[in-house]
Structure formats: structure tokens, C-alpha cells
Amino acid sequence: MKRIIPILLIVAAFFVNKVFAQDVSYKGQASAWTNYNPANELDLWGGARYIPQFNFEYGTVAKGLFDIEASANMNGTLGTFPFDTLYSHGKVKPYRLWARYSNRQLEIRAGLQKINFGSASMIRPLMWFDKLDPRDPLQLTDGVWGILGRYYFLNNANVWLWALYGNKEAKTWEIGNTSQQRPEFGWRLQLPVPKGEVAFSYHNREVDKSGMGEIPAIVEIVNENRFGLDGKWDLGVGLWFEAAWMQKSKSMGMFTNQVSACVGTDYTFGVGNGINIVFEQLLFAYDEKPFVLEKPYTFSTLSANYPLGFSDNLSAMFYYDWNNNDIYNLVTWNHQFRRFTFYAMGYSNPKNYNIPLTANEVNLFAGTGVQLMLVIYP
């Protein structure tokens, strides 16, 4: 399925481009950045990325719309300790590759796509299928291969159904790779309530335990059930919560059960051009038994955003790790030009980087440093 869908979409895109050339559009995003951080083994890093995107549309939403999106992520990274050591890496991979049918109440989308939902904004228990980092100005995330259907009722309720296949690597919050013996599947029901909305989510997959040495290898394949609950309200201030429970059908030691919960609020103060403050509190824990919170991990997050004018914006983001008494700090200024945006970021973080969901193989934000980024829209 994972190999057949891209071929079909490319053939379809070529055909519709020839027949309905007026309905094909193109846009792209190019970016370049440099990062200096003396705490890293290689203190000077740089990189460039280009994301070309093609779209095709046929029909209208009122009568039925068919559209296709195809984009690629082409990026290269260079790290160096000047005049001594050099590291380089480059990669080209599909970024989005999907076809969709939609009308006023129904949407069905198949292929490589982004699936995300939930109420939280910084550390999200319901970050099941995306890897959006709130510190990333580009808000990039890899997609998942699958089929997603959504139906919107006239009372603003909506239901989601999905089936995923071909996503071997562990996604966000997952312990163990996903077995390829059968597809993953799940659903989400979102309901309106006074002043807001609540939603229930469920996902099921099979976990492949092979290669996970520290986990008891009693069986290789374990069934995993995932339950989510979230809600959001506008009561003068924004209020929300998000909670998730992942439960394995057989023992995986301390990773048999995972519980995470987040509560948050935001408010825009009438100071100058208006300063928006967002606060979230996260708790998550692992244990062999469900809902045991003997040694939970807790994080507090705070973000502030202030528009300096039509073209300039200043923002700051802070994380506090209560278990290790560590503070993570990031301040960003950006200026919007006509065809490009410039970002200047300064950060001061612990060298041992423990923010969940945001650490990469080469973690450029561990320690103290600066990053400059230029984003161009050709």
C-alpha cells in the first residue's frame, strides 16, 4: 500500500495536469538557517530546505471537490568545528502525497498526510500522529500513510475514522515500533457543549517488541489500545484539557501503561498591541499497572506573544522541569518582508535535554546559543 499509493498519485497528477492544466497550482517554501552553540560537539551548524508543493483541484465543495497535493522535503545539514571537524547530511523524501474527495459535510483523504487533533498547544498528550514542535517557526512535521474520513454534522459535531499502514517507526509517545501484520485504526468523536467542545478518541495498533532488549521478550507482538479525552472552552479566558491512556494487552514492564494529562489556559492582555499569554501544565507517567502515579514527570510551560507592529513580532517560550529543577528558555523575534521572513532566536537550556517529544538525534537547542533563519516564499 505504501508503495502503490505514491505511484497512483503521481500518475493521476500527471494526467490531470495535462487535461486540466488551469486547475493545477504550484507554490514552494525555501529556508536557510545557521546555529551557533558552543555546548555542542560541533558548535557551528547550518542548513537549507526546500519544499515544492503541487496542488490540483476539480469541482466545487458544494457539488463535490476532488483535489490532490504532492510535496517533497529536500534538506541538507552541515555541522562543523571550524578548521577541524566537518559533518554533512542531506535527504530528499515525500512530505505530503494525498488525494481527497470532499463536500460540505464529508471528507475522505488517502495517502501521506498530516493527522493532528486535540486542545493543547505546547506539550500535547494527543500528539499521536504528528511531531509538531511549538518552537519551530516553520511548524514542519512528517506525515503518516493512511486513509482518513471525517463527517461534519449540522450541529457542529464531527466524527473521524482512520486506518494507517506502512508506518514502521514509533510515532510520538509510542514505545516500540508498529507491527506491519495489519493496519492501525481508530476514531474520534467531537461534540459541541455550551461555550466549547469535548472529544473522545481511540486508536489501536500492534506493537513489535523485537529488538527492544530491556523489555521482557515473552511475545513479539502486543496489542495496544489508546484512549483520549479532551475539551476546550471560551469563558473570557481560554480553558482546555487533554488526557490520554495507552494500555498494552501483555506485559511490557514499566511501559505496559502510559498516562498523560495536560491543562491549559490563555488570555490576551490589553497592553500596547496586546500580549497573549499561554500556560500549560503536563503530567505523564509509566507503570506496569494502570493509573499509578508514584513517579510522575511534570512540566510547566509558558509562552508569550507580542506584535511589535504589522511586520515585527516578539515571542518567548519557557519550560520548567519539576523533576530536575531545570528551566528551558527561547526568545524569538521575526520580521516579515514581502516575500520572505527573517527569524532571530536565542535560547538557554540545560545540556541534558529532557523536554519530552522535542529531542532530536542532534539536539541543537541543548545549551546556550543563537539561531538565525531566513524563510523565502518563491
d(CA 52, CA 30): 8
Q: Does residue 83 lie in a domain region?
A: no
Whether 43 has a pLDDT exceeding 80, the answer reads yes
Flag the least confident range among 55-59, 217-221, 269-273, 281-285. 217-221
| Between 322 and 209, the higher pLDDT residue | 322
The alpha helices in the chain, defined as continuous H runs, are: 4-19
With respect to residue 74, please indicate whether it lies within any of the assigned structural domains.
no
* pLDDT at residue 235 greater than cutoff 90: yes
Buried b vs exposed e over 160-177: b needs ≥16 C-beta within 10 Å? bebebbbbeeebbbbbbb
Express as a percent the part of the chain with pLDDT over 70: 88
353 pLDDT tier (thresholds 50, 70, 90): confident
| Res. 17 pLDDT band, cuts 50 70 90 | low
Contact 370, 45 (CB under 8 A): no
Q: How far apart, in whole angstroms, are the C-alpha atoms of residue 257 and residue 292?
A: 9
Mean model confidence pLDDT for the chain: 87
Domain CATH number, residue 313: 2.40.160
40 belongs to a structural domain: no
Query: Cell 473522545 appears where?
Result: 200
> What value does the mean pLDDT take over residues 216-227?
78
Question: Which stretches does DSSP call E strand in 134-274?
Answer: 144-152, 158-164, 177-178, 184-193, 196-208, 221-234, 238-248, 257-269
pLDDT of 46 above 50: yes
User: What is the Cα–Cα distance from 272 to 159, expressed in whole angstroms?
Assistant: 41
Q: What's the confidence (pLDDT) of residue 357?
A: 62
CB neighbours (10 Å) of residue 148? 22
pLDDT value, residue 10 = 54
Q: In the predicted model, what is the mean pLDDT of residues 68-86? A: 82
pLDDT given at position 146: 97
Q: Are 371 and 35 in contact (CB under 8 A)?
A: yes
Domain extent for 323: 114-376
Write down the pLDDT at residue 83: 60
Interval 264-293: pLDDT, tens: 999 999 999 999 999 999 999 988 888 887
Q: Is residue 44 part of a domain?
A: no
The model's pLDDT over 161-178, given as tens digits with 9 standing for 90+, comes to: 999 999 988 888 888 889
pLDDT at residue 208 in the model: 84
Q: What pLDDT score does 294 carry?
A: 78
Instruction: Return the pLDDT at 289.
Output: 85
Q: Where are the beta strands (DSSP E) in the chain?
A: 24-36, 44-60, 64-81, 85-102, 106-113, 144-152, 158-164, 177-178, 184-193, 196-208, 221-234, 238-248, 257-269, 275-287, 297-307, 312-321, 326-336, 340-348, 368-376
Tell me if 244 is assigned to some domain.
yes
Give a yes or no: residue 8 inside a domain.
Answer: no
**Nine cell digits for residue 348:** 538557554
Q: Residue 56 in contact with residue 17, Cβ under 8 Å?
A: yes
Inside any domain, residue 57? no
Total domain count, the chain: 1
Q: Is the pLDDT of residue 359 over 50?
A: no
CA dist 257 and 271 (Å) reads 45
Residue 139: pLDDT over 50: yes
Banded model confidence at residue 221, pLDDT cuts 50, 70, 90: confident
CB 317 within 8 A of CB 135: yes
Residue 56 maps to a domain: no
Angstrom CA distances, 18 to 13, 14, 23, 52, stand at: 9, 6, 10, 19
Q: Is this structure's pTM higher than 0.85?
A: yes
